[in-house]
Amino acid sequence: MNHSPSPIDSPDAISRRDAITRSLGALAGISAIASISGSTAHALAQPATPAPAEPKKADVEMTPEQHQAILRPGKERIAIVLYPQFTALDALGPHHVFINMVGAKVLLVAKTMAPVPSDTGFSITPNATFDQITEKQTLVLVPGGTTGTLEAMKDAPTMSFLRRQGAEAQWIGSVCTGSLVLAAAGLLKGYKATSHWLTREALKAGGAEPVAQRYVEDRNRVTGAGVTAGIDFALHLVQKWRGATYAKGVQMFMEYDPQPPFNSGSPTSPDAEPAMVGMLSAMHESFGPKCETAIRAALATTPTK
């Protein structure tokens, strides 16, 4: 299956932005935008309700000035890196969040314009190549993977692009094992960072300090934990750039209200079964050491200034 994302100025992208604009504008007064009902953690702990609650009646309406401030287009420039066998949700989760920022330019980038296969069997055609990214980027984001991540660390064009952006971009970020690619590019030395729980300790090979959190911000480095953490990571950045009200509106518009049947999303979650933790750890026992070796090899070939 080959999925080609619409360019940033396509009718699809514009209609989505129009929709979020209207949501934040016409419904600007409702208190639901100002107060999302509960945190993700709270939602996980609660049983699913048979039907969504009705929006609360507005308590305080926005002033025209507040309304205009929210709807004012931004100028964020975001490049999400693709490489063969990347994990699709690592890239597309944040992409869906960021594309709802009015005025933002969000591009999927790779070393060529050829479709890039994900690790779940479909391919995505990039919007641009590394060489075409000439503007200063607000964020350069690297998704994770498994075998693809190891190969990305060996890929000279990918490593070169990341090293260049590490010196130029306003923010450098990752989701899941994408942080290991950043470590291999020498961009996490001396920084706190996170990754998928199975590979978090491998960050030490790149001089990073592993932290067991959903996402970690250290100066201009922001790293997300495994796969779905990319959505939380992205909403955090939207809040930093556009404010809490805007970020809450994006969360509501995409109806990001997780209520899974189990609370077993990490080894320390209440419903996590020790036998399953052990099985998953054993299945991927060799992957962490392979990542460490790949990181060290990449750092050993880093060009000196």
Catalytic machinery residues: 176
State the sign of the Cα–Cα–Cα–Cα dihedral 107, 171, 288, 111. positive
| C-alpha span between 285 and 216 (Å, rounded) | 24
Phi-psi region of 218 (alpha: psi -120 to 50; beta: other; left: phi over 0): beta
Partners of residue 86 on adjacent β-strands: 118, 145
Beta-carbon contacts of residue 76 (< 8 Å; ≥ 6 apart):
98, 101, 103, 104, 105, 106, 138, 139, 241
The tokens describing 131, both together, are 């060489």
Name the phi and psi angles at 158, rounded to 5: -65, -45
The tokens describing 225, both together, are 């934990």
Burial call 258-272: b when 16+ CB within 10 Å, e when fewer: eeeeeeebebeeeee
| C-alpha span between 232 and 251 (Å, rounded) | 9
3-state secondary structure of 110: strand
- Single out the residue of 118, 117, 94, 120 nearest to residue 107, CA to CA: 94
H or E, element range at 169:
none
- Single out the residue of 102, 124, 103 nearest to residue 115, CA to CA: 124
- Single out the residue of 205, 213, 216, 158 nearest to residue 180, CA to CA: 205
